[in-house]
Amino acid sequence: MKCFRIPLFIGVLFLTACGIPKNPGLYTDNAYDKAINACRELLQDQVQDQYPGYVIAVAKDNQLLWKEGFGFANIEKKIPMSADDELRSYSVAKNWTSTAAIKLVEAGKLDFQSKLKDLISDIPSAWDEITVYQLGTHHSGIRHYRDDQEAANPGNCQTIDQALELFKNDPLVHQPGKEYLYSTWGYVVLSKVIAEVSGETYLQAMNELVFNPASMKVGFAGQTTPGIQYYNLNPATNSWILSDANPSCKWGGGGLIATVESLVHFDQAMLQGILVNSDMTNLVLEPNPDSIAITHGISEGGWASVYTDMRNGISIAFMANARGKTMELPEIERLLKSIESYFSKS
């Protein structure tokens, strides 16, 4: 039985126009020069002008092969995008949160069938019987966003408790365990569970359980990231305008920022069994029959995606500071697969 199902949500990919600055790539093996150059040409050909700026990272067998930034982190100030910039990870963060919960279960500090009434104080009675399992698998009955406005900018939350106030008094959509309903707010509650059970703040617990063991650089989306702006497309002029999206209230469901390298580090740590055992890795990454797992996150102002070839040990991550112009998930996934093919042959 799957304990933490992370369904396909929505994703990322982007490219720069000719002449837009880029920073040098980083790679450690000249055998991959040909693959990297081919991927640059592929991106230039297929995704040109889709995003103001983006970053890419590729890792294989626990080795970082390539990371590079393209385009602009800030159009107005002409600040180039760096491969080391921390960008919004959106729903990619759900994998990290579910992994932390699994590690607490493996440590005997939490049980998948533990009920919220035994874990968190001051919760509505409707939540009493919701289990950790139901939160992780989107079967809790806790609602998702009401509309696009709430999805983009539900408010400014500096604590998880502030985020809980946005929805804790709303009725459940269905009885716990009865139906599947994707819910970022459910993962905010799971973030609270992790903090309560660990006896630390959510970010402290995540650093200890996931980020430090996987060599990840991750922060809270409510903090200011100098030099980086997020954009929406103005369709009337086909130009970029500043986005007012604010994911800070989403916490472990989509409120974290990270370097693109951190996304592949997490993936590789999962594949190497550094974080959880192999059975749990499959539960988190949820590969298809071809051993391919894809995790996406998207909102106004940005995009993030991780493509995992579990059979060949390859992880590819993309992040951008805009949602993009015309590319949709099918095109993005085909592009990620093409990039993977270059590295699997090298």
The runs of H, that is alpha helices, within 7-129 are 33-46, 93-106
DSSP3 helix / strand / coil % (the chain, rounded to 5): 35, 20, 45
Per-residue confidence (pLDDT) for residue 1, from 0 to 100? 32
* Sign of the torsion angle spanned by Cα atoms 80, 81, 82, 83: negative
Dist. CA 185–CA 200, nearest whole Å? 20
Torsion angle (degrees, nearest 10) of CA 284, 141, 193, 90: 50
Per-residue confidence (pLDDT) for residue 29, from 0 to 100? 55
Radius of gyration of the chain (CA): 19
pLDDT band for 5, please (50, 70, 90 cuts).
very low
Range from 101-115, 278-292, 301-315 carrying the lowest mean pLDDT: 278-292
Query: Phi then psi for 172, rounded to 5 degrees?
Result: -65, 145
pLDDT band for 212, please (50, 70, 90 cuts).
very high
pTM of the model: 0.90
With tokens 């749990």, the residue in question is 280
- Once rounded to an integer, what is the mean pLDDT over residues 69-73? 94
pLDDT band for 10, please (50, 70, 90 cuts).
very low
- pLDDT exceeds cutoff 70 at 99: yes
In tens, the pLDDT along 160-206 reads 999 999 999 999 999 999 999 999 999 999 999 999 999 999 999 99
**DSSP SS3 for 127:** helix
Q: Does domain 84-301 have CATH number 3.40.710.10?
A: yes
**DSSP SS3 for 301:** coil
- Once rounded to an integer, what is the mean pLDDT over residues 288-302? 92
- pLDDT exceeds cutoff 50 at 16: no
Q: Average pLDDT, whole number, for the chain?
A: 90
